[in-house]
């Protein structure tokens, strides 16, 4: 395991220029950064089969497509409807209206699942870079399909790993929810990035100088701990080339991202004892104003669950992080992964 000496630091409040929020770094509230581990494996995986496994396709909600397209029992990836969707594709779409007072419209939208492997015991980090790339391209394909629906404005891609991170199935999978609205947190992020662009003439993510925050890099992406990380050992993976939408990724970049994402997941799992985490893709709305393109830049976030959220965070929206990003980056940077695992 990687170790790092923790200098005596005073608490510090940092501004997250991407989300326009503050994070309080309080190392006195923690052990040494290198001592952070998940208390136990996030979700015991004693099952050998489940509805997501090959041979159990009939137990799932309807399939949207599979990879390869003509495969039968030898499929690699399946994209299906969620059996318990948060929104419904069967409802009539209603435009949200701007009125004073409480507003409610139908819960129209799409909620889909990406089954990343037919084998129950295989995690995303067990796949090869090319196979992780195939999962990313399957996500891209489904997002492009959803983009053709005029009423859909935003798609949120996410992966919950571990019960405490929201995973109800231990079989490795990702999800996407397509909405007829742009969520307020997304709008706030875009507004913050636009404000930075107006002040500097630069994209806030293109302008990042990783330095001691860098964990690893590839031909097309960099992985780092953000300057004002909300969560201990949080990781962002950012395209080197300016791009507003995840679905603009091509096959070469998907495989490149697959390799770097696999490396980040392995480092995090080894150092933090396979913690529960959320993996999130932050992209731009489909119908975004073209004038916003210079300021918007998609990125991938991994947020480990190593401590709970308390009343201060809920009341203020200002999170307390017990690990300085520079310390977390060094620890993750120094984790050595066997070539056999890559």
Residues marked as catalytic: 173
What is the distance, to the nearest Å, from the Cα of residue 43 to the centroid of all Cα atoms in its chain?
A: 19
Task: Return d(Cα 318, Cα 334) in angstroms, integer.
Answer: 29
Q: Measuring CA to CA, which residue among 82, 37, 91, 79 is closest to residue 331? A: 37
- Say if CB 77 and CB 67 are below 8 A apart: yes
Task: Return d(Cα 265, Cα 115) in angstroms, integer.
Answer: 18
Using CA atoms, how far residue 286 sits from 146, 184, 214, 218, in Å, is 10, 15, 30, 28
Task: Return d(Cα 136, Cα 157) in angstroms, integer.
Answer: 10
Please confirm whether the linkage preceding 68 is cis (ω < 30° from 0).
yes
């Amino acid at each position: 395991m990687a170790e790092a000496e923790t200098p005596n630091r005073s608490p510090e409040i940092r501004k997250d220029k991407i989300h326009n929020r503050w994070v309080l770094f309080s190392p006195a509230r923690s052990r040494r950064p290198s001592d952070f581990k998940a208390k136990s494996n996030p979700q015991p995986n004693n099952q050998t089969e489940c509805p997501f496994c090959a041979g159990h396709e009939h137990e799932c909600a309807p399939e949207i497509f599979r990879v390869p397209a003509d495969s039968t029992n030898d499929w690699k990836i399946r994209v299906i409807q969620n059996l318990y969707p948060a929104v419904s594709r069967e409802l009539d779409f209603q435009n949200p209206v701007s009125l004073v007072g409480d507003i409610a419209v139908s819960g129209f939208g799409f909620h889909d699942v990406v089954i990343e492997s037919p084998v129950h015991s295989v995690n995303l980090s067990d796949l090869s870079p090319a196979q992780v790339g195939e999962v990313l391209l399957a996500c891209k394909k489904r997002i492009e399909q959803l983009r053709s629906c005029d009423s859909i404005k935003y798609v949120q891609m996410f992966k919950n790993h571990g019960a405490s991170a929201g995973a109800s199935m231990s079989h490795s999978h990702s999800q996407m929810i397509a909405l007829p609205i742009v969520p307020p947190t997304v709008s706030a992020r875009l507004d913050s990035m636009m404000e930075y662009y107006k002040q500097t003439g630069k994209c806030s993510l293109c302008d990042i100088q990783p330095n001691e925050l860098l964990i690893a890099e590839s031909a097309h992406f960099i992985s780092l701990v953000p300057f004002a990380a909300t969560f201990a050992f949080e990781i962002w993976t950012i395209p080197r080339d300016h791009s507003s939408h995840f679905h603009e990724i091509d096959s070469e970049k998907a495989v490149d991202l697959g390799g770097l994402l696999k490396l980040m997941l392995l480092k995090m799992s080894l150092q933090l004892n396979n913690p529960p985490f959320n993996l999130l893709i932050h992209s731009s709305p489909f119908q975004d104003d073209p004038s916003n393109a210079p300021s918007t830049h998609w990125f991938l976030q991994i947020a480990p669950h190593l401590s709970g959220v308390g009343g201060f965070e809920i009341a203020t929206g200002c999170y307390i992080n017990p690990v300085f990003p520079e310390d977390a980056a060094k620890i993750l940077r120094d984790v050595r992964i066997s070539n056999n695992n890559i």
